[in-house]
């Protein structure tokens, strides 16, 4: 029997791309509300209670309201908003972080009732940094024999750029109405909504300094973490960082770690890029073995992904597949 699936917020950017990835999939029976019903509370409650699984593609407050509407139903929920990413009782839907910290990974997702999709920027940030950080290593605590390669209490920074679709229909409309916008830096005062999950799942002592920006491309994202190795008490040279990431994702069909010897001289976002649900990771820095005389002064960890793919809709489909016991990459654009 087909799995009954309801997408609450199906008319938004993320919802539309989820529906596109479900095209032709007879494992699911899609419950659809017409335009007159999709904002009607009673109709939404009925659909949420009728569904086996619901995917919430809503603003945070509306997502919280949807969870309340679903109370008593037993419906399993994937929330694509940021409302529940660090909330008690919710599983963080980042299957590649398996074994990194309790409550993450494929088994946790497969058995969860409530799964929260990662944010687009945190997806790149955590994929790069979380495997390299050990919460027991302190810059001030000396150089332990065992543990992670990077300290948990360093003041990390992250520079990131996204296509404008990450801001939803409002930002899409703004870029259409103001075609002279070439670059938009935002969140200048700090306090971005992604910071709690970035700190929590990388197990950092404090949130990173986050510098997000948007360019006139519909989709695409680059996340860049600079590492001043010589001043941060790092135990890992660039090649050691690469080795750990490569081992972490060696069996993944979604995340690819590029060879350091093959690193490109530039990374591009294309204005006409096709949907893509994978993620490319890079370690930039001096390429030689640990043990030379001088620790390299710096490295850069960089992720390239589609903010609407692995950063949103693709991640929701990946989690949906895992929750339903289906092959993880079914329906993904890889």
pLDDT at 113 over 50: yes
pLDDT at site 146: 37
pLDDT at 138 over 70: no
CB 121 within 8 A of CB 111: no
Residue 324 catalytic?
no
Span 252-265, pLDDT tens digits: 999 999 999 889 99
* Choice among 66, 78, 120, 299 that is catalytic: 120
And the tokens for 247?
């081992």
pLDDT at site 147: 46
CB 120 within 8 A of CB 162: yes
pTM of the model as a whole: 0.92
What percent of the chain lies above the pLDDT cut of 90? 67
Query: What is the mean pLDDT of the segment spanning 158-167?
Result: 89
Q: Which of 2-6, 78-82, 215-219 has the lowest mean pLDDT?
A: 215-219
pLDDT at 143 over 50: no
Domains and CATH numbers, the chain: 3-118+312-323 (3.40.50.720), 121-307 (3.30.360.10)
Produce one character per residue of 15-42: b if its CB has 16 or more CB atoms within 10 Å, e if not: bebbbebbeebeebebbebeeeebeeee
Span 187-209, pLDDT tens digits: 888 778 899 999 999 999 999 99
pLDDT at 291 over 90: no
**What DSSP assignment string belongs to 70-135?**
TTTS--EEEE-SSTTTT-TT-EE--GGGTTTSTT-SHHHHHT-SEEEPPPHHHHHHHHHHGGGEET
CB 278 within 8 A of CB 255: yes
- Burial status of residue 231 (CB atoms within 10 A of its CB: 0-12, 13-18, 19 or more): exposed
């Amino acid at each position: 029997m087909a799995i009954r699936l309801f997408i609450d917020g199906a008319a938004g950017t993320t919802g539309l791309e989820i529906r596109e990835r479900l095209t032709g999939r007879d494992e699911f029976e899609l419950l659809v509300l017409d335009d007159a019903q999709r904002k009607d509370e009673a109709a939404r409650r009925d659909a949420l209670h009728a569904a086996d699984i619901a995917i919430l593609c809503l603003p945070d407050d509306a997502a919280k309201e949807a969870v309340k509407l679903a109370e008593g139903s037993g419906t399993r929920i994937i929330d694509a908003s940021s409302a529940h990413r660090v909330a008690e009782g919710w599983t963080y839907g980042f299957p590649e972080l398996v074994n990194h910290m309790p409550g993450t990974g494929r088994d946790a997702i497969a058995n969860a009732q409530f799964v929260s999709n990662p944010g687009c920027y945190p997806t790149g940030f955590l994929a790069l940094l979380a495997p390299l950080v050990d919460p027991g290593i302190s810059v001030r605590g000396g150089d332990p024999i065992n543990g992670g390669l990077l300290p948990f209490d360093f003041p990390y920074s992250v520079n990131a750029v996204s296509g404008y679709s990450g801001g939803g229909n409002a930002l899409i409309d703004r870029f259409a109405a103001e075609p002279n916008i070439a670059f938009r830096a935002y969140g200048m005062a700090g306090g971005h909504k992604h910071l709690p999950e970035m700190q929590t799942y990388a197990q950092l002592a404090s949130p990173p300094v986050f510098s997000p920006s948007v360019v006139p491309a519909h989709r695409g994202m680059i996340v860049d973490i600079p590492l001043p190795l010589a001043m941060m008490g790092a135990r890992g040279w660039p090649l050691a960082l690469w080795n750990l990431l490569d081992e972490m994702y060696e069996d993944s069909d979604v995340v690819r770690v590029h060879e350091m010897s093959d690193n490109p001289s530039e990374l591009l976002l294309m204005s006409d890029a096709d949907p893509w649900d994978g993620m490319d990771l890079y370690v930039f820095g001096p390429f030689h073995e640990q043990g030379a005389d001088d620790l390299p002064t710096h490295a850069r960890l960089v992720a390239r992904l589609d903010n609407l793919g692995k950063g949103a809709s693709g991640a929701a489909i990946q989690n949906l597949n895992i929750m339903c016991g289906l092959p993880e990459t079914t329906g993904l654009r890889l």
